[in-house]
Amino acid sequence: MGKKVLVLGLAKSGFNAAKLLKRLGADVTVSDVQPLDKNPEARELQVAGFKVITGEQTPELLDAGYDLMIKNPGIPYDVPVVQRAQALHLPILGEMELASEVNEAELVAVTGSNGKTTTTTMIQKMLDRDRSAGHAKYAGNIGIPASKVAQEVTKDDTLVVEISSFMLVATTTFHPHIAVLTNIFSNHLDYHKTRANYVAAKMKITANQTAADYFVVNFDNPEWRELSQQSRAQVVPFSRLDVTEEGAYEKDGVLYFKDEAIMPADEVKVPGDHNIENALAAIAVAKLKGVGTAAIKAVLRNFGGVRHRTQFVLEAEGRQYYNDSKATDMEATEMALKGFKAPVVLLAGGLDRGYTFEKMIPAFKDHVKAIILFGQTAKLLAQTAKDAGIATIKMTENVETAVPLAYQLSAPGDIVLLSPANASWDQYPNFEVRGDLFIKAVEKLTGKQEEV
């Protein structure tokens, strides 16, 4: 490679990008805002011989003269050092682009506002089942750096990547054989500034596709249908609401691909209409790759969900426990509640961001029999629950103390659901810790182990 490269921002993606660049022969400098004594990735790279700069990332960083910047996706484009790089016409790429350039495996990429992780996981499981050669692996925004996995896969494998809008902005040559768009709402406008910019970032997933490729798109919204016309790839629709005989769809409670019935929708293990959409997208990809119907059914009947995302934990004494700690906003909790037909004992609460919860009243009325609340928003949610007519409203200290209460308030046939509708930072470092503690509390209560 022989280029002088600045890796701006570490974490997993920057750390692995730096290692890959050095392997390719680049002269690599890494910069991260975290001080060295609190930055294990930076220390490890320094020991390995990398030039490491920690602390404030000022425009003067670029005085050393670089040929290329690899930018962490979480760093906005309006920070001064990135603005100077743009003014200098310094190429700015992301770790995903770097990974795709060394990847030998066939590439499947998934983006969207919601459902990316679940869809990516479903696809990987389907493509990895009953294959005659190689493996299907996942990477990207799902939490596994693509630059690490890209070095491990071969031409016999399939690499399924979850790619966010932050990652897509920094792509120029990224070219998946199959691209999937689950949906587009209005997210991350603090980063992208306008919805038009956000949509344009998402559509970069298909920018380099050709007529030999496939673009799998949710057709349940007119905007998404229209956006699909921008692609040069073969468009393969999926729809929960309409029959789309060129792709995957639900009809009379059965999931189809083209004219083939795949399975009843109610046999998909993860609950909710949104997960039917995710399943349809995965079915479309699997069928394009020649996966048999039996393998598809086996995955969808047994896949209990991605950890912390309406994840089935276990069943005990007739009660089903679900961990939806990733539900850090009202919309996610509403979606989770609508996925259940049985009565729900809901565990909710968390960081107070200054808003109220009146819009949750319909979902509470239709689905919640009892609610247990904790964290900064407990009193606000209690008022909403009262307005929704929920008779049983309990306050408790945290998610761990909420679990025994949930058992007492539930009956066989009920759902016990952690879906907080709030961020976790008032009590926990992140939603993962909150969800893990919920699972441990359920295991302690029931004497059973989480199903995986």
Return all residues near 367 (Cβ < 8 A) that are at least 6 apart: 337, 338, 340, 343, 344
206 — pLDDT class (breaks 50, 70, 90): very high
Distance, in Å, from the CA atom of 138 to the CA atom of 146, rounded to the nearest integer, reads 8
Point out the annotated binding site: 112-118
Q: What is the pTM (predicted TM-score) of this model?
A: 0.88
Distance, in Å, from the CA atom of 136 to the CA atom of 127, rounded to the nearest integer, reads 6
Query: What value, to the nearest 5°, has the Cα angle with vertex 95 and ends 91 and 98?
Result: 70
Q: Are 335 and 309 in contact (CB under 8 A)?
A: no
Return all residues near 206 (Cβ < 8 A) that are at least 6 apart: 179, 181, 213, 215, 230, 231, 232, 233
317-346 pLDDT per residue, tens: 999 999 999 999 998 899 999 999 999 999
Point out the annotated binding site for ATP: 112-118
Taking CA atoms, 309 is separated from 2, 115, 170, 196, 336, in Å, by 43, 9, 27, 28, 9
Which superfamily does CATH assign the domain made up of 96-302 to?
Mur-like, catalytic domain (3.40.1190.10)
Which of 23, 18, 74 is CA-nearest to residue 46?
18
Going by their DSSP bridges, the two strands 344-348 and 319-323 should be labelled as unpaired
pLDDT at residue 323, rounded to an integer: 97
92-141 pLDDT per residue, tens: 999 999 999 999 999 999 999 889 999 999 999 999 999 999 999 999 99
pLDDT at residue 451, rounded to an integer: 87
pLDDT at residue 177, rounded to an integer: 98
Single-letter amino acid, residue 419: S
Which superfamily does CATH assign the domain made up of 4-93 to?
NAD(P)-binding Rossmann-like Domain (3.40.50.720)
369 — pLDDT class (breaks 50, 70, 90): very high
Q: Where are the domains of the chain?
A: 4-93, 96-302, 311-446
Which superfamily does CATH assign the domain made up of 311-446 to?
Mur ligase, C-terminal domain (3.90.190.20)
Q: Is residue 420 over pLDDT 70? A: yes
Bridge partners, residue 260, by sequence: 257
